[in-house]
Amino acid sequence: MRITTKGQVTIPQEIRELFGLLPHTEVRFQVDGDRVYLEREPGRSARGDDLVRHLTGRATVKMTTDEILALTRGEG
């Protein structure tokens, strides 16, 4: 992994998914001797809140809740 000229680094997808690091997640850097740790900013929203916010408005099919339930139950 290499730091870009703008000081950016890509967090691997598996790590982002494992720790729920979605776009706009607030993080901070913690220095401990000669090591640097990336941590989720404390006091921010929970992972579930971030997921819901991230997924809101992304549906491509306009269906009512009743239509979705009927479809999952195999009705009509």
Q: How many domains does the chain have?
A: 1
> What is residue 45's predicted lDDT score, i.e. its pLDDT?
61
Rounded Cα–Cα distance for residues 20 and 40 (Å): 9
Q: What is the mean pLDDT of the chain?
A: 87
Residue 8 lies in a domain: no
Asked if 16 and 23 touch (Cβ cutoff 8 Å), the reply is no
pLDDT by residue, tens only, the chain of 76 residues: 899 999 999 999 999 988 888 888 889 999 999 999 999 887 666 667 777 888 888 888 888 889 989 999 988 6
User: Is 2 contained in some domain?
Assistant: no
At 22 the pLDDT is: 82
Report yes or no: 10 and 21 within 8 Å, Cβ to Cβ: no
| Domain containing residue 54 | 13-73
In a domain, 48, yes or no: yes
Give strand pairing partners of 40.
27
- Provide the whole-model pTM: 0.51
User: 3-state class of 8 per DSSP?
Assistant: coil
